[in-house]
Amino acid sequence: MFAALLLTAVSAAAQQKATITGVAEIPFTSVPNFLKLPPGESLGESVAVATNSKGHIFVYHRRDTTRLFEFDRNGTFLKEIGKGYYGFEFAHSVRVDKDDNIWTVDEGTNLVTKFSPDGKVLMVLGRRPPAVDGPVVFPAGPNQPSQKYIFCRPTDVGFDPQGNIFVSDGYCNNRVVKYDKNGRFLAQAGSEKSGKMLGEFDLPHGLQVDERGNVWVADRTNNRYQVLDNNLKPIREITNLGVGWTLCISPGPHQYVFHSNSNPNGNAPGTWETTGEIYKTELDGTVIGKFGKPGKVAPGFQVVHMMDCRNPNELVLGEIESWRVQKFILPPTPLRTSTR
């Protein structure tokens, strides 16, 4: 009984209706089931998606083991990356940098790995807990003081124009960490302790960096997004778009931000009525519109854990509970004269 009550409490805490009103609906075309898997293969929890400069699609998913698949721009399977890799245990995020290197964030091994475009390991941040210690789902007791090069269930990774690396760390640490392009620690915001003030976090669940070098964080349990400067000093918070599950920032001279107010795992009673939409905004926070709603049948969403918006008019969404990846075509947004 206690476990059931705890689950209900956690689910309730992980949902929040967006308070913004009068937002325009963005029309869309759904392209479900566009990925073509080899015979005998299937997707598990598709928690992470990304694309490279060629339009290739990477899906980092949880199945019998954690797997990283690459597809071409038409959805045809190309190859698996990192099969049997020691850094894969419980997938959480995949990102592709400006040089088409592939980065995975694994919550189970506490590792962030940089792969070359052809799948060679180039860098590892963090350290996997030794196997002789046995599996540790969550640290017992208070969190240990955060360390420069050790993560505790990290969630996402991003990069600024200079190549610095930013990691949201995550489920037990509540911080964002900055490293230089060679992996040397530079700074952090937050700590092992959760907090609600600006510059503090309670489960930083997603992270991206815009072309100005500002760091955007989906501060999930605080039901907000935070924007930090390049030195991780807080600039502002966004509190009217619901949960703050994940976000994506499109590249190019005019950037857009997509925010996922996702329904939580388990689909607790009432969550379909209060969450599930994707919001599109300018960098200055102006909300352009929204689209989508929860649903087990496409084009509905079932826990949008990650989005790719390399082309802001073609979103690729990775879902946990329906074990699928969907593609959505959106109409272009007329450009404003300035977002500054």
Q: What is the distance of C-alpha 105 from the center of its chain?
A: 10
Whole-Å CA distances, 210 to 161, 215, 284 = 8, 7, 12
- Reference 238, options 256, 222, 255, 254; nearest CA is 222
Whole-Å CA distances, 248 to 5, 139, 221, 322 = 33, 30, 18, 21
What DSSP designation does 131 have?
G
Query: What is the predicted pLDDT for the residue at 135?
Result: 62
Quote the CA–CA distance of 167 and 38 in Å, as a whole number. Answer: 33
Quote the CA–CA distance of 2 and 127 in Å, as a whole number. Answer: 34
Quote the CA–CA distance of 47 and 49 in Å, as a whole number. Answer: 7
Query: What is the predicted pLDDT for the residue at 270?
Result: 84
Query: What is the predicted pLDDT for the residue at 16?
Result: 79
| Complete DSSP assignment for 132-169 | GG---SS-SSSPPPP-SS--SSEEEEEE-TT--EEEEE
Residues of the chain above pLDDT 70, percent = 92
In contact, 245 and 261? CB cutoff 8 Å: yes
- Reference 328, options 218, 282, 307, 320; nearest CA is 307
What DSSP designation does 63 have?
S
- Tens of pLDDT, residues 70-114: 999 999 999 999 999 999 999 999 999 999 999 999 999 999 999
Quote the CA–CA distance of 123 and 311 in Å, as a whole number. Answer: 27
What DSSP designation does 76 have?
B
| Complete DSSP assignment for 25-46 | BPP-EEEET--BPPTT----EE
Q: Is the pLDDT of residue 336 over 90?
A: no
Count Cβ atoms within 10 A of the Cβ of residue 253 and give its class: 0-12 exposed, 13-18 middle, 19 or more buried. exposed
User: Is this structure's pTM higher than 0.85?
Assistant: yes
Least confident of 4-8, 45-49, 63-67, 329-333: 4-8
Q: Is the pLDDT of residue 14 over 60?
A: no
Q: pLDDT class for 273, splitting at 50, 70, 90?
A: confident
* Phi, then psi, of 7 in degrees rounded to 5: -60, -45
Query: What is the predicted pLDDT for the residue at 6?
Result: 40
Q: Is the pLDDT of residue 279 over 70?
A: yes
- Tens of pLDDT, residues 138-195: 666 677 888 999 999 999 999 999 999 999 998 999 999 999 999 999 999 999 999 9
In the predicted model, what is the mean pLDDT of the chain?
A: 91
CA angle 242, 172, 293 (to 5 degrees): 25
Token representation of residue 118? 């052809």
Query: What is the predicted pLDDT for the residue at 161?
Result: 97
Quote the CA–CA distance of 312 and 211 in Å, as a whole number. Answer: 15
Q: pLDDT class for 337, splitting at 50, 70, 90?
A: low
Query: What is the predicted pLDDT for the residue at 139?
Result: 63
C-beta neighbour count of 331 within 10 angstroms: 11
Residues of the chain above pLDDT 90, percent = 80
Average pLDDT over residues 49-63: 97
Residues found in the chain: 340
CA angle 164, 249, 295 (to 5 degrees): 130
Query: What is the predicted pLDDT for the residue at 7?
Result: 40
Which long-range contacts (C-beta less than 8 Å, at least 24 apart) are formed by 79-86?
Answer: 79/119, 81/115, 81/119, 82/113, 82/115, 82/119, 82/121, 85/113, 85/121, 86/128
Average pLDDT over residues 287-307: 93
- Tens of pLDDT, residues 116-145: 999 999 999 999 988 777 666 666 667 788
- Tens of pLDDT, residues 215-272: 999 999 999 999 999 999 999 999 999 999 999 999 999 999 999 999 888 888 888 8
Q: Is the pLDDT of residue 12 over 50?
A: no
Query: What is the predicted pLDDT for the residue at 5?
Result: 40
